[in-house]
Structure 1
Amino acid sequence: MNDKANNIKRQIAITRRDELGHPPLHLDNNSRLCLNCNRAINDEINIIEADPACLRLNVLTQSASQTCVICNAQEDIGRLTIHCRVNVFIEVNIYIPDNVRSCEHHLDENGMFHNRLLPGLRFINRPYLIKGPQLQLFLQHLRNVSANKVKGIDDKNLTEDEFKCIAPVSKQQFEELFTYCDPVYYNGKLRQIKRKDLLMFLCKMRQGLSDDFLKIIFDYHSRQTVSSVAACVRTSLLERFVPTNIGLQSITRENFIEQHVTEFANELYNPRPAEPKVIAVIDSTYAYVHKSKSFRVLRQSYCFHKNRHLLKPTLIVAPDGFILMICGPYFSDAGNNDANIIREEFERDANTLREWFQNQDIVLVDRGYRDAVPLLQHLGIDHRMPAFLQRGHRQLSTEDGNESRIITKNRWVVEARNGHLKSVFKFLGQTMNLQHAQNLSGFYRIAGAILNRYHPLINMQDVNAEFARQMLQRSTVPNAIQARVEVDNLRLRNGQWRRLYGEDVPDFPLLDLGYLKDLTMGIYQINLAPSYIQDKLIRENDKELQLDEHINEPGFLRIRLFSRFRNVVKHQIFIAYTANEMENIDNNADNNPISGYYCTCQSGARSLGTCAHVASVLWYLGFARHQPNIKYPDTSLLDTTLDAAYRQPADIAQNINVDVIDIN
């Protein structure tokens, strides 16, 4: 190898050695080549001498036609398709001769090598002659790939905003999520999860698109391929990603209390705040499904409350919106009410759920769980539930109303999370076909795990332990206005009132949104105010808010507002205020401009916060009427849609529907 006659052979050998990454070797008169390398180098020299213009290619070294190119198996092997060979050339720049064979399990459903196998292919850079028909076929398929390259969505070419429109995660979060996509067995074969497969599944969840549409935009061969790929991705995520991010096994009690039980909830619900306990909110949501041909499924999936066919997943959520677990889904007939569902969960997971929830833990539930109270008491779990109306009463007492407000102050997070599941994942908000409904549990748990890991928790602004103590203190204050209304029978004695309009009470104090939020203990009631005021003006066919003032006591008002649920029901609102000549109020002032309020609605007797009717009147008289621009709800549908009942048009609404002002 060291003589001049072998100079060309020596240069070729050194080039091959460097390409293979072998260490350099000192050449002397005793240096030799093995027979195989010597034969291959001689063939290369002969090809170059026969055609000096011959090009060099990275040619696969495992080119035997009798064995598998991957595992050297000799049975059940088949020749690689031109599609597979072209794909390898594009992905890793290795040319595979047309006689190379492989086992079927090394290929995916499209006949391509699994991505994890491509780095293991060995090659050598040498002159290689491709015959005319083979070259023509190879170039034609390269042309087809180039022509079809515009088809399908490539995640690497999407901007961050475009990516978030397709998937419920960011591009960086997608990279991490892809690391959880392990190979899974599907129909007896090991299937690899590609980036395109995961993105397609996330797009289906995010936008609720059909498999036929996904086949087009992601360039799959058929709708059946889309369905099988989605099943593989779902199975893969359920194996490792879901157990890591949702469920009792994903977090310990201690970490749950430390990370997700807020100081506000601990102070508000825990009678011993110095000893934090688990605080969780439980509620069911609805997953609408198509009708089944099975009569039993039809009966058990029909919900008389919603008058639709649906299934019921149940969420257990922390005070900050962290989803501890998603149970079910359950059927929705009378036998599957909320109380029976929670009883079933504690009995079915007796060794898990009962161990995780311990004595004196706290759960917030709605009235539908009343039949499960004995079970919770037996387990030593403290339950908080909104109060029930007493028999023969139409209104909650002040104490019951205040207690209900304390519970709903944090119970709404489970409703918010239910809404997030259906707004972030539109697939869950659609009417689902029965094929998908069979895997509803997996879809919901994947969505919940993504929310837990990649989406922000629910952060209630300006609430802390001190705010909780203020709520508890205010909940003990009686409603003096209610007592006066009942003693003097002011609801019925119209002779003690005189009719006015809003402009006739110029001394009503100016209120800012900060004061209103503090008075109502939240923003929900204020957000409803424009709708209530607009509805009153439309129904009374007036441009000004009508109200009554006590004839013997200026500063004591009565206003009637319509119920938003029933056409014929009116609620009376009584408000006592202190006239204020200042341009605005000082929220820290000792003199409260609103000295009391009372409403005849079901929750209007409470002194902790206000109902939406009281908040609407305060919002209008103290804030909205002094603003140049207030946006009321759009009523254009009333003008473009026929009404066979011949109700009055929305002329008044058109006059008050003006520009926008943000009240959030």
Structure 2
Amino acid sequence: MNDEANNIKRQIAITRRDELGHPPLHLDNNSRLCLKCNRAINDEINIIEADPACLRLNVLTQSASQTCVCNAQEDIGRLTIHCRVNVFIEVNIYIPDNVRSCEHHLDENGMFHNRLLPGLRFINRPYLIKGLQLQLFLQHLRNVSANKVKGIDDKNLTEDEFKCIAPVSKQQFEELFTYCDPVYYNGKLRQIKRKDLLMFLCKMRQGLSDDFLKIIFDYHSRQTVSSVVACVRTSLLERFVPTNIGLQSITRENFIEQHVTEFANELYNPRPAEPKVIAVIDSTYAYVHKSKSFRVLRQSYCFHKNRHLLKPTLIVAPDGFILMICGPYFSDAGNNDTNIIREEFERDANTLREWFQNQDIVLVDRGYRDAVPLLQHLGIDHRMPAFLQRGHRQLSTEDGNESRIITKNRWVVEARNGHLKSVFKFLGQTMNLQHAQNLSGFYRIAGAILNRYHPLINMQDVNAEFARQMLQRSTVPNAIQARVEVDNLRLRNGQWRQLYGEDVPDFPLLDLGYLKDLTMGIYQINLAPSYIQDKLIRENDEELQLDEHINEPGFLRIRLFSRFRNVVKHQIFIAYTANEMENIDNNADNNPISGYYCTCQSGARSLGTCAHVASVLWYLGFARHRQLILIKANSK
């Protein structure tokens, strides 16, 4: 009975025992049928095959009882018709109506878990479905077809598939849907469906056109899609957005406690024991198509970008929390960064001026220089990168260090601007004018989703102690710059030749941890591979060059070309502790790099390094020993 040839007989025998209420019987190679039962089963098979209504189906097989997955005897029940129909649709296996299963293998809807379906065993054999059973089975097949959701159904998507469509997870989608209240549209109360919200999120996430969304979400027309987008946008703006972004979403005290990091408080606040609001302000660009209105055409054209665009402005906490999104504003000369921030404080005087109080701190870029008097009048302390003094080509060491302190945390607003356009591709593409008039709503919805469902920006290995170290190092003068200026090394003629992989053999070995500590961050280190590789594979007139005239151990002079302008050359001076060839490990008690100086605009600073110095240090002390880049060997 337990061999492959008797599969059909075995299944009929198991069914008969179950109908008679007999206990399950374990089958092995010694199991046999009595002659009477064998004759009766053969007769039944012949009758089934002779019946015109007989079908050949993939019928579920069982080993000892009518439980199809395990041989449990307790807490089992018959499978529902919905489960049996679902299995037939998914894997083409018919399950008889008397088959049972324990609850462990079923989900909350009484269906088999999807991972179990490929493991179901079956045998293709003649099978007769009785009239009433066949009618019931066909009726449920029809119901499944009639109730099948056309287009994309969020319930049938995996977690990874869902995140490709929407900027939230399935669980977050369920919570977001609770904020979708009915809204009035064209004089009628419109209910927001799950499909409507998913379509809106898909448009934000992938930036798809309304015509394409009409097809994949099975809407009647493009106009229907446009109206659904408007309804969902209006609904989310009513409750979800005010709860998660804007001055009304968080109190000043909670903002300081939750989003002003100890690093930023120690670095920018002159009295760290009295925490203040610290925020970063910057504008971003939203590109739009040309308008038929000449006025809009003029005001939306940006001479700096040579494109038509609008400018939303973000106010962001040191950890990336978006406090508010202002605008958008036109991009003509009358709407520069200074005028935008002045407009916000004047238009929202009763809210913004009350929220920002005396001695609060804002980090801005150089475009806000004309807004300094307004900030000073409001009692707000501003931090802005230094400007080049007239007649100078390089920032002083003090100005360079101060600028580095500001940029150490100001980049979070740039990162959030990037997140808005990478997570929500709709905001990163050139926007149709029909959506441009609602750009403020789209940006605030995107910002609210980032605040609630996406992680904050966490800078690794930065804390109050690291901030104190930065402040202390910012007071250290650049001794190498002083030597270069005293000895006039910058203007001294050099014997330049290409820098080869085997040059400067006594240069100390450096690890990435030391380089990151020296540069006070990872940006310059991440830039170094592309920078050095670009120089090494260029033609001879733009290669990395070494001055052979300087024959002083522990001191070198290198020249390289700017990555922005071909005519600009930068000179790099590095003082180091010569390393013995047999000593491959850095001595933790010594500082292998004792100083550096570059002739670029920010190369005089002693707090961190410019990208040129970091690239040379990365190449000589790390990369060339690990074959991380293509290295030219000396052909001599």
TM-score band (shorter)?
Answer: 0.7 to 0.9
**Quick one: structure 1 residues 616 and 427, their matched pair in 2 at CA, closer, same or farther if it must change by over 3 Å?**
same
Shift of 1:393: 0.5
**Quick one: structure 1 residues 179 and 80, their matched pair in 2 at CA, closer, same or farther if it must change by over 3 Å?**
farther
Report if the CA contact (8 A) 1:502-1:544 is conserved: no
**Quick one: structure 1 residues 2 and 617, their matched pair in 2 at CA, closer, same or farther if it must change by over 3 Å?**
closer
Shift of 1:560: 1.2
Shift of 1:494: 2.1
**CA-to-aligned-CA distance 1:560-590 (integer Å, 9 cap, x gap):** 1211111211111111110122777777823
Report if the CA contact (8 A) 1:557-1:575 is conserved: yes
Report if the CA contact (8 A) 1:312-1:329 is conserved: yes
**CA-to-aligned-CA distance 1:624-646 (integer Å, 9 cap, x gap):** 000xxxxxxxxxxxxxxxxxxxx
- Asked if 1:659 is matched to 2:620, the reply is no
**Quick one: structure 1 residues 659 and 579, their matched pair in 2 at CA, closer, same or farther if it must change by over 3 Å?**
closer
106-115 or 474-483, which deviates more: 106-115
**Quick one: structure 1 residues 112 and 323, their matched pair in 2 at CA, closer, same or farther if it must change by over 3 Å?**
farther
- C-alpha distance in 2, partners of 1:383/1:87? 64
Report if the CA contact (8 A) 1:577-1:594 is conserved: yes
- C-alpha distance in 2, partners of 1:440/1:36? 82
- C-alpha distance in 2, partners of 1:310/1:484? 48
Within a 5 Å distance, the mapping from 1:369-448 to structure 2 comes to 369-448=368-447
Shift of 1:136: 16
Report if the CA contact (8 A) 2:11-2:62 is conserved: no
Report if the CA contact (8 A) 1:510-1:583 is conserved: no
368-377 or 27-36, which deviates more: 27-36
**Quick one: structure 1 residues 395 and 105, their matched pair in 2 at CA, closer, same or farther if it must change by over 3 Å?**
same
Report if the CA contact (8 A) 2:24-2:64 is conserved: no
Report if the CA contact (8 A) 1:576-1:595 is conserved: yes
Report if the CA contact (8 A) 1:555-1:579 is conserved: yes
- C-alpha distance in 1, partners of 2:262/2:633? 27
**Quick one: structure 1 residues 124 and 420, their matched pair in 2 at CA, closer, same or farther if it must change by over 3 Å?**
same
**Quick one: structure 1 residues 607 and 139, their matched pair in 2 at CA, closer, same or farther if it must change by over 3 Å?**
same
Report if the CA contact (8 A) 2:498-2:544 is conserved: no
**Quick one: structure 1 residues 319 and 59, their matched pair in 2 at CA, closer, same or farther if it must change by over 3 Å?**
same
Report if the CA contact (8 A) 2:496-2:545 is conserved: no
478-487 or 309-318, which deviates more: 478-487
SS in structure 1 of the partner of residue 22 of structure 2 = coil
- C-alpha distance in 2, partners of 1:144/1:520? 66
Shift of 1:555: 1.7
Report if the CA contact (8 A) 2:54-2:127 is conserved: yes
* % same residue: 98
**Quick one: structure 1 residues 255 and 235, their matched pair in 2 at CA, closer, same or farther if it must change by over 3 Å?**
same
Shift of 1:398: 0.3
**Partner residue, 1:344:** 343
Report if the CA contact (8 A) 1:47-1:127 is conserved: no
- C-alpha distance in 1, partners of 2:39/2:326? 68
Shift of 1:530: 1.5
**CA-to-aligned-CA distance 1:56-95 (integer Å, 9 cap, x gap):** 99999999999999x9999999999999999999999999
536-545 or 209-218, which deviates more: 536-545
SS in structure 2 of the partner of residue 502 of structure 1 = coil
- C-alpha distance in 1, partners of 2:418/2:217? 28
Report if the CA contact (8 A) 1:323-1:452 is conserved: yes
Report if the CA contact (8 A) 2:315-2:324 is conserved: yes
280-289 or 20-29, which deviates more: 20-29
**Quick one: structure 1 residues 173 and 496, their matched pair in 2 at CA, closer, same or farther if it must change by over 3 Å?**
same
Shift of 1:660: 12
Report if the CA contact (8 A) 2:528-2:611 is conserved: yes
Shift of 1:487: 1.2
- C-alpha distance in 2, partners of 1:232/1:272? 48
Report if the CA contact (8 A) 1:282-1:363 is conserved: yes
Report if the CA contact (8 A) 1:502-1:545 is conserved: no
**Quick one: structure 1 residues 558 and 78, their matched pair in 2 at CA, closer, same or farther if it must change by over 3 Å?**
closer
- C-alpha distance in 2, partners of 1:55/1:365? 77
Shift of 1:503: 1.1
**Quick one: structure 1 residues 355 and 472, their matched pair in 2 at CA, closer, same or farther if it must change by over 3 Å?**
same
Report if the CA contact (8 A) 2:535-2:543 is conserved: no
SS in structure 2 of the partner of residue 504 of structure 1 = coil
**Partner residue, 1:494:** 493
Within a 5 Å distance, the mapping from 1:184-199 to structure 2 comes to 184-199=183-198
**Quick one: structure 1 residues 587 and 105, their matched pair in 2 at CA, closer, same or farther if it must change by over 3 Å?**
closer
Report if the CA contact (8 A) 1:376-1:382 is conserved: yes
Shift of 1:55: 27
480-489 or 196-205, which deviates more: 480-489
TM-score normalised according to structure 1 size: 0.73
Report if the CA contact (8 A) 1:556-1:574 is conserved: yes
257-266 or 24-33, which deviates more: 24-33
**Partner residue, 2:33:** 33
Report if the CA contact (8 A) 1:502-1:547 is conserved: no
- C-alpha distance in 2, partners of 1:408/1:529? 19
- C-alpha distance in 2, partners of 1:534/1:342? 42
- C-alpha distance in 2, partners of 1:28/1:492? 96
TM-score normalised according to structure 2 size: 0.76
- C-alpha distance in 1, partners of 2:349/2:105? 44
Shift of 1:535: 2.2
**Partner residue, 1:19:** 19
Shift of 1:538: 2.7
**Partner residue, 1:236:** 235
**Quick one: structure 1 residues 78 and 191, their matched pair in 2 at CA, closer, same or farther if it must change by over 3 Å?**
farther
SS in structure 1 of the partner of residue 560 of structure 2 = strand
SS in structure 2 of the partner of residue 352 of structure 1 = helix
Report if the CA contact (8 A) 1:498-1:551 is conserved: no
Shift of 1:546: 3.3
- C-alpha distance in 2, partners of 1:19/1:349? 79
Shift of 1:164: 0.4
517-526 or 115-124, which deviates more: 115-124
- C-alpha distance in 2, partners of 1:461/1:556? 33
Report if the CA contact (8 A) 1:107-1:114 is conserved: yes
**Partner residue, 1:641:** none
**Quick one: structure 1 residues 113 and 517, their matched pair in 2 at CA, closer, same or farther if it must change by over 3 Å?**
closer
- C-alpha distance in 2, partners of 1:94/1:47? 23
Runs of 5+ consecutive residues of structure 1 not aligned to the other structure? 627-656
**CA-to-aligned-CA distance 1:253-296 (integer Å, 9 cap, x gap):** 00000000000000000000000000000000000000001111
Shift of 1:489: 1.1
**Quick one: structure 1 residues 663 and 338, their matched pair in 2 at CA, closer, same or farther if it must change by over 3 Å?**
farther
Report if the CA contact (8 A) 1:500-1:549 is conserved: no
- C-alpha distance in 1, partners of 2:215/2:126? 41
Shift of 1:545: 4.8
Report if the CA contact (8 A) 2:8-2:125 is conserved: no
380-389 or 56-65, which deviates more: 56-65
Shift of 1:22: 41
385-394 or 548-557, which deviates more: 548-557
**CA-to-aligned-CA distance 1:506-530 (integer Å, 9 cap, x gap):** 1100101111111001111111112
Shift of 1:137: 19
**Quick one: structure 1 residues 116 and 312, their matched pair in 2 at CA, closer, same or farther if it must change by over 3 Å?**
farther
Report if the CA contact (8 A) 1:515-1:587 is conserved: no
SS in structure 2 of the partner of residue 554 of structure 1 = coil
Within a 5 Å distance, the mapping from 1:91-170 to structure 2 comes to 146=145, 149=148, 151-170=150-169
**Partner residue, 2:517:** 518
SS in structure 1 of the partner of residue 256 of structure 2 = helix
- C-alpha distance in 2, partners of 1:295/1:505? 63
**Quick one: structure 1 residues 57 and 525, their matched pair in 2 at CA, closer, same or farther if it must change by over 3 Å?**
closer
217-226 or 463-472, which deviates more: 217-226
- C-alpha distance in 2, partners of 1:577/1:503? 17
Shift of 1:132: 21
**CA-to-aligned-CA distance 1:208-254 (integer Å, 9 cap, x gap):** 00111111111111111111011100000000000000000000000
Shift of 1:548: 2.1
**Quick one: structure 1 residues 25 and 285, their matched pair in 2 at CA, closer, same or farther if it must change by over 3 Å?**
same
SS in structure 1 of the partner of residue 409 of structure 2 = helix
Report if the CA contact (8 A) 2:76-2:103 is conserved: yes
**Partner residue, 1:10:** 10
**Partner residue, 2:52:** 52
Report if the CA contact (8 A) 2:25-2:64 is conserved: no
Report if the CA contact (8 A) 2:106-2:112 is conserved: yes
How many residue pairs match? The answer is 633
**CA-to-aligned-CA distance 1:25-58 (integer Å, 9 cap, x gap):** 9999999999999999999999999999999999
**Quick one: structure 1 residues 143 and 291, their matched pair in 2 at CA, closer, same or farther if it must change by over 3 Å?**
farther
**Quick one: structure 1 residues 98 and 213, their matched pair in 2 at CA, closer, same or farther if it must change by over 3 Å?**
farther
Shift of 1:6: 55
Q: What's the C-alpha RMSD, in Å, of the aligned pairs?
A: 12.8
Shift of 1:502: 4.1
Report if the CA contact (8 A) 1:47-1:54 is conserved: no
